[in-house]
Structures are given as C-alpha cells and as structure tokens.
Structure 1
C-alpha cells in the first residue's frame, strides 16, 4: 500500500495575500469579465456563435456592430495573456520565499491539473465553451517548456507576434480583394448552431456538451502563443509598475487596439447590415476578424495599464471591479450559472422583445451583480468560493 507524499509546510508558500497584489492585473480581469459576459450570454441567447441578430433592425444594428468590433474574438485573448502573466507571478512568489524549483514546478503542475478538472466539470454541467480546461493544458505546457527559460529565449514570443502582424496584413489584403471582387448574392452573417444551447431539456444539453467540449478545447489550445506573451510581460513586471513602462504601454494600446478594431470593422459592417457582399467575402472577413482579434488582448491590457498608471486614488468602482478581478474564477463560473438559469430554453428563457437587447442587458446586469458581490466578499476578506476551493486543493 502506497501513501501520498506530502510536502512539509515549510517547503511551499501559501497563496498570495491582498497586500502583495498589483492593481492592474486585478482591474483588467474584473473589467474584462464584462466582455466575456457579453460574448457568452449572446451565444446562449441565440443558441449559437457568434451570437448576433442575423436580420438586425434599428438599434440591433448598433449592438451587432459593437459586439463584432470590440468583443468577439477579442475578450478571451485578454485572459490568455493574463493567464501567462499569473503563471510567472505565482512562480516568482514561491521562489522569493525560498521554495525549491522542483517544488515550484509541482505546485504549478498541480494547480493546472485542477484547472483541467474544473473545466471538465464546468463544461459538462454548464457551458461547452469553457476555457479553464484549455488554460490548464496550456499551463502544464508552459510550466514544462517555457517558464524556466532565459530572457533571450522569451524574445521569441515578441518575434512571433511580429510575424502574426504581417500575417494579419496579408489576410487583410486578401479580404479587400474578396470584397472588391464580390459579385454573388449578398450573404448575411448567421449563427453557427450549438446543439447544447438549443436543447429542450437539461439532460439533452448535458449529453450534447459532452460531445462539444473536447472539440472546443482542442481548438483553443493554440493560444499558447498568446499566453507566452503574458509570460514575457510578467518577466518584465510591466503591470506591477505601469508608470515605468508608459511608453511601451501607449504603443501597445494604440497599435493593438487599432489592429483589432480595423480587423473587425468590415465584418461588423456586414453584421450590422451596412455592407452587402457575397458568401466568399463574408468568409474572408470572418477570418480577418478572428486573426486580428488576438491583438485585442495586449491592446486592452495596455490600455488598462495606462489607466492604472494615472490613478491618483482608488475610487469605489475601481476597488469593486478589482475585487471581482481577484475572484475572476468565481465570477466566470457565476456567469455560466446565470446564463443557464436566465437564458436556456428549459429554464426562464427570457426574451424582452429582442434577443440582442436581452443578451446585452442580462450580461451587463450579471456583471454588475458580480462586481457588487465581489466587493462585499472583499470587505469580509473572503476570497470567493471557487478560489477557496482551488487553493485548498493546491496548497
């Protein structure tokens, strides 16, 4: 009979304390949960992706336009970059406490292994479009292959993004050619259905999610390159002291957001019903929107880094949103529970006359409620249910 080996208490350091936290990463995570909510609630409401009204009228055109320009394929890269940033922060805290490198690696592998388990449960019970499992897989890859490399090696990450920029420009050129040569019947932007979101019963949706989740997870593991950028940035401690990196943050914010907005703009015009092109052109514009969306990750992060560098006082909204960022795992899971209760066909299935409005209003309402709840937890020094469970399992 074998027994599990338990490290002595002095061999590892516990989780981060409140005084050790940097404001910028928490504020970014808390604020960006709103964009995650806008994306995922719309998927639930329309039972498919990207979750937009295919025949928009009036203000629905504006909702479609803003969602396709600022949200879709632009929210998850933020969390991918921040995930890489967090890996380095966690490892650095352990090492600064004198924890042996082998023990640090075991902690990281254990934490990411539990993220995979959290993701499997989340995807099975609530939402197939889970990212936790993919983060766990990518976290294990990064722990084994990237974290202990030197600065020169990590410059490769910056080079990869430079190559990606050239590729986006190439795709953009192809898209311009496709639009200019469009000659067939106009093709509107439609949602690709997800059976689990349209299921008429919870049991049916659960079975559908078991089929959808593995494929979704496999399709997003490639964002390891986005995570790697976060690792590079964390090694430079850019967000711990954003004021010292204001020039870099300004360039990344302007460049990253310009690329992601311009790349999403043509598809947003189609989605709003203001640009009419054939199906081949729509397909090309969809791909351009997807590949340019990854630049929204560093762009949004740099924008918030600049905001933090100019803050002179911590106002109540800043503290509350940061509290949600400290509890982003609980906030993320709370959102999925909310979509299931409010929008699934077999629960409340809310509809206020327009699916687009309904999804957006519910997303904002759930996010505001989660900000209020996180602030209340912070005042009581409670980490959050998901964070508490994960830390108990890891430490």
Structure 2
C-alpha cells in the first residue's frame, strides 16, 4: 500500500485502482455499521436500502477485499524489482518484505484495537509473513502454489463457513461491531493476541488474491503495455461474468428472497467469496485497460490517483471516520438511519480524502502514515552504514 517515492515512475492504472478501491472498501465496511454481518445484509428501511443491498452483494461484498489484496501483491513485485535495480541483495529485499509484514500487523493492531476500525492490514501482514519466500521462487513454483492453495480453499471455505453458520443459528448473526469502546478494545485485543490475523487468513482467502497479484506483477500486466490488452479484456469479461453469477444465490438469500438452512447459507456465502476473488481480479484488469486512456483527463484522474499514491494514510483515516460517524458507541448513524445514510457518509468521507490527497499532491507531500511506514520499513544496507560511519 505504500511506495518508495512520489517522484519515481508510476503507473496510472495502479494508482487509479487503489484510489477507487478505497471507496469500495469504505462502502463494504459502512454496511457493517448499518447492521450487516459477514453472512447477511442489513435490514432495509426503505426501497433505496434494498437497491443498495443488491448492489453491494453484486459489486462490493467479497470483491473489494480481493482487489485490495491483488493490488497489494502486484505492488510487492515492484518493491522487489526496485531493490534489485539498486543492486541490493535478495536478502535485503526479503528483510524489507518481512519488516513490511511486521509493521502492517502493528498498524493493523492500532487501527482495529486502539481506533476500533474494521482492519485488514494485520491480515495482509500475516499473509505476507507466510508467503514472502514464494515471491523469490520460479514462475513454475508460484503457479503450482496458486493452484494448490486455491484448491485447498475450495474445500476449507465451505466447511468453515457452513460450520460457522450452523453454530450461529440461534443468534442468527455474526456481529462485527460493539456497543462500547471498551468492549471493542477488549474483544479486538483478545482476537489479535490469540492469532486473529493468521486465523483470518483461513476464513478469508487473502493469500490467493495476493499470489495472483504477485504473478500478474511478474508479467507486468498492469504496466500499461499495449500487448497486454487482449488478456486484460478476457480477464475483465470472464471475471465480471463469473462474479455476477456467483453472487446471485447470496443476493437472493441475504435479501430475504429465498430461505435456506444455516448450512446452505454458509455454502452459498463461500461460493460468493470464491467467485469474488475472480471479480476482484477482473476489477484490477478493468483499471489496467482504462488507466492509459484517462491520462489526458487530469481533472478527473488526478484526485483519484493522488489518493491511490497515499492509500495507507487514507485507508486508516477513512476507517477512523467511519467509526466516528457510524459506530454504535459514537454517533451511531449507521444503525439509526440504515444503509443509504451509511453509504452516503462513506462516500462523503472518500470525497474528503480526495480533497486532502489532492492538496498533498500539489505540495508534493506523502501521506503521514505512508511516510512513517516507509521510514520504519526501509533500512540502508550494512555496507552503506559502514561507509557513512
């Protein structure tokens, strides 16, 4: 989510995708404050809520997160390439990634436990700790790992979510928000120290999207090269189709059109999640296609790409503001006014982020959290330190 310099060559497709991704993530998390759970949508207060519930299932839920992870994986290949271009060793690159993983978990701890926001940073950090070694393996090993891990999740997810739905039958919910700050603090702290970020990677197939992003980064699929357009078009068309078809059962169930037992509700949620990986990748492909065409339209593009360059800062800011406006222990606008208001607030927060990011871009300043993260992660090689000494 962070980058080496504001002045190095960047790809507009990546920054555009990251900027739009922040909107999708904000909308997904706003739904949780409106009464959504991982297995169901919030109750509609009026027809607009119903429309947004369907839009969310087809476009946002379990699709924003895979896109996020895919872009994260893609960025890792750029980081490694940057290290090697500067004649740094593979060991230096590996240690940089391990530090990145560690500090993602620390930043995630701060966001989820102290701030009380919906976090995915720590889960990404845990995933990166587990797969860093694969980044330096051959394409053959990487593709084999993707195939094996994907096959495992096809088995794990239905079993896990089906079992979870059965266990939650009496409560009929999987609550992700809390009634007080102290309750959130204690619960999130216990989840974290008992391995929550690592267990989260079993319930959410982050690793698959991450590895797909690494593979795409090796092939430079989003580097705005014309010869990649045919493949990106195929991925976009097939991916969107699969994503929509895979969302239909979840849309019907979560909006109360059909009734299913808890076991089947867990199974169709798994289908929604698995097809969402393909959907998230297709979103990235779409931005890979449209990014180069938007270069001339700076008035429209610059604010979003400025936001994408500072995605860590504004992800954390957006989540903190969602807590302030929507959480049950603050202003509680989410459950009080429902999904339409919650999404409107999330969209307003994203617009505010666009404004601030544009100002930072004009002043050629990084986001403060991006700057801190980069300062913590990057280390000078031992030889340079000795030379300075």
Q: What stretches of structure 2 of length at least 5 have no aligned partner?
A: 163-168, 379-389
1:210 aligns with 2:189: yes
Aligned to 1:71: 60
8 Å Cα contact 1:129-1:216 kept in structure 2 = no
Cα deviation for residue 158 of structure 1 reads 5.8
Q: Give the one of 10, 31, 35 matched to 2:20.
A: 31
Aligned to 1:326: 309
| Residues 137-178 of structure 1: per-residue CA shift (max 9 Å, x gap) | 2223332x212112232332564598589x59xx8xxx9xxx
1:88 aligns with 2:77: yes
1:104-115 aligned at under 5 Å gives the runs 104-115=93-104
1:110-189 aligned at under 5 Å gives the runs 110-127=99-116, 129-143=118-132, 145-156=133-144, 159=147
Cα deviation for residue 245 of structure 1 reads 0.4
Aligned to 1:60: 49
Question: TM-score under structure 2 normalisation?
Answer: 0.84
Q: What stretches of structure 1 of length at least 5 have no aligned partner?
A: 1-13, 176-186
Aligned to 2:353: 370
Q: Secondary structure at the match of 1:68?
A: helix
Aligned to 1:198: 178
| Residues 279-329 of structure 1: per-residue CA shift (max 9 Å, x gap) | 554333222212221112211100111111433514222111111111110
Question: TM-score under structure 1 normalisation?
Answer: 0.83
1:281–1:203 CA distance, 2 compared to 1 (3 A): closer
Distance in 2 between the 1:34 and 1:22 partners? Answer: 19
8 Å Cα contact 1:128-1:212 kept in structure 2 = no
Cα deviation for residue 128 of structure 1 reads 6.1
Aligned to 1:181: none
Distance in 2 between the 1:361 and 1:51 partners? Answer: 20
8 Å Cα contact 1:88-1:231 kept in structure 2 = yes
1:258-337 aligned at under 5 Å gives the runs 258-311=241-294, 313-337=296-320
1:350 aligns with 2:333: yes
8 Å Cα contact 2:126-2:198 kept in structure 1 = no
1:221 aligns with 2:239: no
Which has the higher Rg, Structure 1 or Structure 2? Answer: 1
8 Å Cα contact 1:128-1:209 kept in structure 2 = no
**Residue correspondences, number:** 361
| Residues 84-125 of structure 1: per-residue CA shift (max 9 Å, x gap) | 111110010111111122222222222222112111111211
8 Å Cα contact 2:253-2:259 kept in structure 1 = yes
1:55–1:17 CA distance, 2 compared to 1 (3 A): closer
